[in-house]
Amino acid sequence: MNLRLGVQVSLLFQVSLFLALVRPPTITGAQAVGVVKSDQVTFVHCGTLIDEKSAEPRPNAVIEIAGGKFRSITSFSPSFAKPAGAAFLDLASETCLPGLVDSHTHILLQGDQKPGQYDEQILKWSLPYRTILGTQAARRALEYGFTTIRDLETEGAYYADVSIRDAIQQGVIPGPRMRVVTRALDVTGAYALLGYDPALKLPHGVQVADGPDECRKAVREQIGNGADWIKVYADQRISTAEGVVHSILTFTPEELHAIVDETHREHHKVAAHAMGLEGVHNAVEAGVDSVEHGAYIADADLKTMVERGIWYVPTLYIFIYAEELHQAEGFPGWKGGIEIHAQTFRRALQAGAKIAFGTDVGGFEWTINPAKEFPLMVKYGMTPAQALRSATVSGADLLGLADQIGSVEPGKLADLVAVQGNPLSDIGHVENINFVMKEGVVYRRPGEP
């Protein structure tokens, strides 16, 4: 075993032991985290229910939950009386909807846009400390209403996302259901940390792989260590010209094809960071399963994405955040990029591309609610109903969980969130979720901070 990797594994073991012994002290809900009694029955009265199955919202709905799953949905009657031993939650003034899915997060990253912020986390923060902060980020995600996330790389924290995913699944800590990619892949010289004395052997935010054979081996290693998805960086440095975002390619077509082929051979999927025309084209031609960011996508590539069912996860807010942060000197290579990105989103929507909600939170601080993405999706052309669907039914479909989550219907996992007001008339209400249930366990109630 590589010495550096051996040290990381040892540290991960220490963190896992820590997580097994310590529970956060302020968990809400009547049951222990992650523990649902099979005989516990709960009834939830929703003033309005957006179940993502019915053509219209359902007024005055009662949801019956047992064993962590939805059992039935009926109309509320004034004569309703809960059975003995059952729990009753009154959300008569709330709009309920399925738990949300954020398909692009980084719980091991606590903001990286400010000067030196990324380098400090990689070089100065220990892996146990980053992992503990990651558990805090996961908790925040859940309390924002995201009961499921796809976490798209650990940024130098090796396989810590696997440990957090498993700790959540085992009920050790609160957090959303997770699909993880572990380390991500890029080529030599293309990903931070860069710019230091070449004599220094510094860590990178990714796993470096060059040549088809190394790429295949890296895929096998990551899957062997617990990756649910594989992530590749299809391009790097960007520039804008005449309404197009251009990028410098990383992997060769042969390398990308090797990554996709090996991943699919092992029945996993590939997410591709692809910002510009060139990177998106190479990723689409290689047959990736999702394009992340996609600030510019050529019409021909959009057509291919639609034909092949390749997902588009646009992550709109992170670029507005970064542009505002770098306003004085300008966001490098990004002049006019916000509008180009918006136009790409509109063209993708018009073309019928499959669009899933994703935010890149972690790139911006976890103290910022990632639901800020919703108003931008509406501003750029989606209806509020389409924007919600991108984070419910579509998110579930992207992650291969459509039979378990994404809608409120009998047999599916009891993930439910609620807001005051109607998000179908004002999508901004989703930024103020005040009730969160995951698999029948309540983590947040109206009136709690």
Arch. (CATH architecture) of 41-98+410-444: Roll (2.30)
Can you tell me the mean pLDDT for 354-363?
98
Looking at every residue in the chain, the average pLDDT score rounds to: 92
Q: Which CATH code of 3.20.20.140, 3.30.930.10, 3.30.479.30, 3.10.580.10 fits the domain covering 100-398? A: 3.20.20.140
Interval 75-115: pLDDT, tens: 999 899 989 999 999 999 999 999 999 999 999 999 999 99
**How far is residue 4 from each of residues 126, 201, 202, 203, 294, measured CA to CA in Å?**
13, 11, 11, 9, 34
Here the tokens at position 346 are 């509109």
327: confidence class by pLDDT, cuts 50, 70, 90: confident
- The answer on pLDDT for 246 being more than 90 is yes
pLDDT of residue 325: 87
How far apart (Å, rounded) are the C-alpha atoms in residues 72 and 78?
Answer: 18
pLDDT of residue 121: 98
pLDDT of residue 230: 99
Question: Hey, where are the domains in the chain?
Answer: 41-98+410-444, 100-398
Interval 49-81: pLDDT, tens: 999 999 999 999 999 999 999 999 999 998 999
| Contact indicator for 417, 97 with CB cutoff of 8 Å | yes
Residue 360 makes CB contacts below 8 A (sequence gap 6+) with 104, 105, 106, 293, 315, 317, 318
How far apart (Å, rounded) are the C-alpha atoms in residues 413 and 438?
Answer: 8
Which residues are bridge partners to 261 per DSSP?
Answer: none
Interval 254-278: pLDDT, tens: 999 999 999 999 999 999 999 999 9
> Could you tell me if residue 9 is left (phi over 0), alpha (psi between -120 and 50 degrees) or otherwise beta?
alpha
39: confidence class by pLDDT, cuts 50, 70, 90: low
- The answer on pLDDT for 14 being more than 60 is no
**How far is residue 309 from each of residues 7, 227, 302, 303, 355, measured CA to CA in Å?**
41, 22, 10, 10, 10
Other beta carbons within 10 angstroms of residue 373's beta carbon come to 26
Element of type H or E holding 309: none
Shared fold status for 41-98+410-444 and 100-398: no
Can you tell me the mean pLDDT for 370-374?
98
328: confidence class by pLDDT, cuts 50, 70, 90: low
Element of type H or E holding 65: strand 58-66
- The answer on pLDDT for 11 being more than 60 is no
Q: Would you call 306 exposed, middle or buried from its count of C-beta atoms within 10 A (0-12, 13-18, 19+)?
A: middle
